[in-house]
Amino acid sequence: MKQIAILGSTGSIGTQTLDVVRQHPEAFSVYALTAHRSLDLLIQQALEFNPAVVCIADESLYPPLRDALSDLPIKVMAGEKAIAEMVTMPAIDVVVAAMVGYAGLRPTIEAIKARKTIALANKETLVVAGEIICRLAARHQVKILPVDSEHSAIFQSLVGEDMASIEKLLLTASGGPFRTFTYEQMQHVTAAEALQHPNWDMGAKITIDSASMMNKGFEVIEARWLFDIPVEKIQVLVHPQSVVHSAVQFVDGSVKAQLGTPDMRMPIQYALTYPERWLSDVPRLDLFKTNNLTFEEPDLQRFPNLRLAYEAMEKGGNMPCILNAANEVVNLAFREGRCGFLQMSDVIERAMAKTTFITEPSYDDYVQTDAEARCIATKLINQ
């Protein structure tokens, strides 16, 4: 039985990971759960799964969490440092890294150092510090298994293949809720509209990133590190139906793709059971009803975030870290009504130009870069 730690258990990926555990209780045991501030749901999950450890990042919520679980043999912890310490516990086999944003970087690093298998849903970890993460994983012989549907699709398409035979990675994108909007229409869209994703049920931050196509830009960077592929060999295709989750084109001209319904439990389960495939209750894809699959080139004029992501990766160094930090600031500001939808890209691009560039950053450099870029982006919004 695999002992699982779920970082971000109250979010979209975390709750769906627990759905997979419910379906296979004989194979998976929840050893640890963490959340940022969702106290009530974390308590509910702890009461159901009875983990050995529960940790909440917001230290002010430690007393009510401790009191709610006081009758159970559960170790209660709080704070970001505690999360990073928790993932190193010897009993843990797999760490599902599903925390949102930059906050997921440090615990993922500590889990790799402790030689835990990583089921990676936190794309910002590789966006910010892909080189460090891959180097650590190689040094400690740790598997990083992708949970994102697109990267899982590529991963599945590469099973049994020679990596040298890859010609191109084909990364699909739904296009989000504003795919058909004109530039003028996009000037007036609201966060409520952006949160209405046509196909996927995701958390607020990633849904906004999907609407702006920054999420796809992050996935390009993530794919570069996960599969050790030059960024110029990663092509984005807008695929509104979200049936082809991604594909690989090989040197002989053939293309292998992974298809399925838009249900995150499928890639989550594959990451937990790899290299095996187990029975799942996700809805089946009915090919008789799948008769309209279309693919479009992304419009980099209306969605410049995708262009900025490619530019950040080509520049290298700490530029992807700057990109991510500025994006986290504008994403939150847009959700709170302090920043317009199109203004987000402008702020990010200006923050990339203003933040100190470091060619070969260390972990400490990333920490400093993140803080500096957030400060600059915040000032740009408030101008």
The per-residue pLDDT for range 322-331, each reduced to its tens digit, is 999 999 999 9
How far, in Å, CA of 304 to CA of 232, rounded?
17
361 within domain boundaries: no
End-to-end CA distance of the chain: 55
pLDDT at 203: 79
pLDDT at 84: 96
Instruction: Check which CATH number belongs to the domain holding 77 and give it.
Output: 3.40.50.720
**pLDDT, tens digit, 9 for 90 and up, residues 223-247:** 999 999 999 999 999 999 999 999 9
**pLDDT, tens digit, 9 for 90 and up, residues 295-322:** 999 999 999 999 999 999 999 999 999 9
Give the pLDDT band of residue 198 (cuts 50, 70, 90).
confident
77 within domain boundaries: yes
376 within domain boundaries: no
81 within domain boundaries: yes
As a whole number, the mean pLDDT across the chain is 96
pLDDT at 355: 98
Q: Could you list the residue range(s) of the whole structural domain that residue 100 is in?
A: 2-146
304 within domain boundaries: no
186 within domain boundaries: no
Per-residue pLDDT at 200 exceeds 80: no
How far, in Å, CA of 265 to CA of 273, rounded?
12
Cα–Cα distances (Å) from 369 to 129, 134, 218, 310, 324, in that order, read 11, 20, 18, 19, 10
Count of the separate structural domains present in the chain: 1
Give the pLDDT band of residue 383 (cuts 50, 70, 90).
confident
More confident residue, 85 or 103: 85
How far, in Å, CA of 324 to CA of 164, rounded?
30
DSSP β-ladder status, 255-259 and 244-250: antiparallel
358 within domain boundaries: no
Residue 125 · residue 108 · CB < 8 Å = yes
Q: What is the pTM of this model?
A: 0.93
317 within domain boundaries: no
